[in-house]
Amino acid sequence: MEQTQAMAGARFVDPKVLARLNSLELVARTVVDGFINGLHRAPHLGFSLDFAEHRGYEPGDDLRRVDWRLYARTDRFYVKQFEADSNANLVVVLDVSASMRFGSRGLPKIDYGRYLAASLLYFSHQQRDRVGLVTFDRRIVSYVPPSAKHLDFALFALDRAEAGREGELAAPLLTATERLRRRGIVVVVSDLYEEPDRVAAAVRPLRFRGHDVIVFHLLDPAERDFPFDEASSFEDLESGERLPVVPEALRAEYQELVRRHIEALGRLLLDSRVDYALLDTSVPLDFALFRYLAARERLRRVR
């Protein structure tokens, strides 16, 4: 118990503090190591070594896979089959559209998304999973195919990722679905500025491919609370459109709309058996890792 309390300070690092670290890898290591050390034990580690079934030997099978003990008992050759692969694919799909540039507390959503992606990739790499990365706006910006050796490439791609253009979910996710042939865990990190049913429709093909999909919905506190005071022209970061707004008059309605949007996203994604988590950029990244692990655990049990 004492150990847990001692490490708690290291685990829940304010993302603003992480922002001072220059290296993404360092960020990821700080987060993940703190996270792992904080756990008493690691009951969730090594889930890729599960035995699945036996199959009759066929010419060409690797002799190392023959279950000799069984041969001793039955006098027949059987090959031991394990769960698809002992290590899973983790692909982080990060939204780098212009709207991700927003940040009211000094930490833009894009940075928070990068830290989150880096942490997840690093953490999975530690688990000997294959890691890959897709960044997209209205189309795929960069693609690092999942591989056990691609963490560096993925971190490099993350490092270079910049939010700039208008975004869209459906088209790039469909493209990504087509590329990710092997089933794995797909983590979508986006601010999801689309109608909930369109978001669900965009994510669903990934699910149809058999991926386990986790959607992290990134929002800045200002996007939820709308704390603006002065009547101003609000400029859409993506389209550049401007709208004169008196925040005081609209705040309640805006908050209600956002609340309903989040609620609808949760409901629709749950219906599609997609895990959904809302992440506030003021919340430490560990929280996201917990959500990831909890989902991962649950998925393992369902299987």
Partner 1 sequence: MSLLAPALLAGLLAIAIPVVLHLVQRERKQVVAFPSLMFLRKIPYQSVRRRVIRHWPLLLLRALVLALLAVAFARPFLPGADAAAGGTGDREVAILLDRSASMAYGDHFQRAREAARSVVEGLRPGDRASLVLFASDVEIAVRQGGERSALLAAIEAARPAALATRYGPAIQAGAGLLESSPMPRREVVLISDFQGTGWDRGQGVKVAPGIALTTMPVGEARVENAAVVDLAFAREAADQSGSERVTVTARVANRGSTRIDNRPIALEADGRQLDAARVSAEPGTTASVSFSPLTLPANGLVRVVARLTPDRLPFDDTFHAVLASREKLPVLVVETAAGQTPFLARALAVSSEPRFEARFLAAAQATPAEIERAAVVVLNDTPPPAGAAGRALAAAVDRGTGLLLALGERSSWSEAAPDLLPGTLGEIVDRREGRGATIGHVERSHPVFEVFGTPRSGDLAAARVFRFRELAAPAGVLARFDDGAVAVAERRVGRGRVLVWTSTLDGYWNDLVLKPVFVPLLHQAIKYLAGHVQRPAWHVAGEAASPSMLAAGAEGGKAASRTRTGQVALSPSGARLPVPGEGSRQAFVPAEQGFYEIRAAAGEGADGERSVLAVNVDPAESNLARLDPAELVTAVRQGPGVAAASEARQLSPEDRERRQALWWYLLALAVLALGAEALLAGRFSRRRPVPAAAEVAERSAAAAQESQRLAS
Residues in the chain, total: 303
2 forms part of the interface with partner 1 (CB under 8 A): no
- Residue whose token pair is 């790499």: 125
Angstrom distance (rounded) from CA 283 to CA 280: 5
Residues in contact with partner 1, counted by CB under 8 A, come to a total of 56
Considering only residues 145, 164, 221, 266, which one is a binding residue for partner 1 as defined by CB under 8 A?
A: 221
Of the two residues 53 and 195, which places its CB atom closer to partner 1 in the complex?
A: 195
DSSP for residue 101:
G
- The structure tokens listed for 97 are 């559209």
Considering only residues 89, 99, 119, 177, which one is a binding residue for partner 1 as defined by CB under 8 A?
A: 99
DSSP for residue 88:
-
Question: For residue 220, what are the CA distances in angstroms to 18, 19, 21, 174?
Answer: 16, 15, 21, 27
152 forms part of the interface with partner 1 (CB under 8 A): no
Nearest one of 191, 249, 268 to 222, comparing CA atoms:
191
Considering only residues 36, 70, 140, 258, which one is a binding residue for partner 1 as defined by CB under 8 A?
A: 258
Specify the stretch interacting with partner 1 by CB under 8 A; choose among 19-27, 119-127, 133-141, 276-284.
276-284
Angstrom distance (rounded) from CA 265 to CA 194: 10
Angstrom distance (rounded) from CA 175 to CA 4: 43
Of the two residues 57 and 234, which places its CB atom closer to partner 1 in the complex?
A: 234
286 forms part of the interface with partner 1 (CB under 8 A): yes
Of the two residues 22 and 233, which places its CB atom closer to partner 1 in the complex?
A: 233
Residues in 8-47 that interact with partner 1 by CB under 8 A? 8, 11-12, 14, 38-40
> What DSSP string runs through 44-67?
TTTTT--EEEEEE--TTS-GGGB-
280 forms part of the interface with partner 1 (CB under 8 A): yes
Q: Which stretches of the chain bind partner 1, using CB under 8 A?
A: 8, 11-12, 14, 38-40, 99-102, 105, 109, 191, 193-194, 220-221, 223, 225, 227-239, 241-246, 248-250, 253-254, 257-258, 261, 280, 282-284, 286-287, 290, 293-294
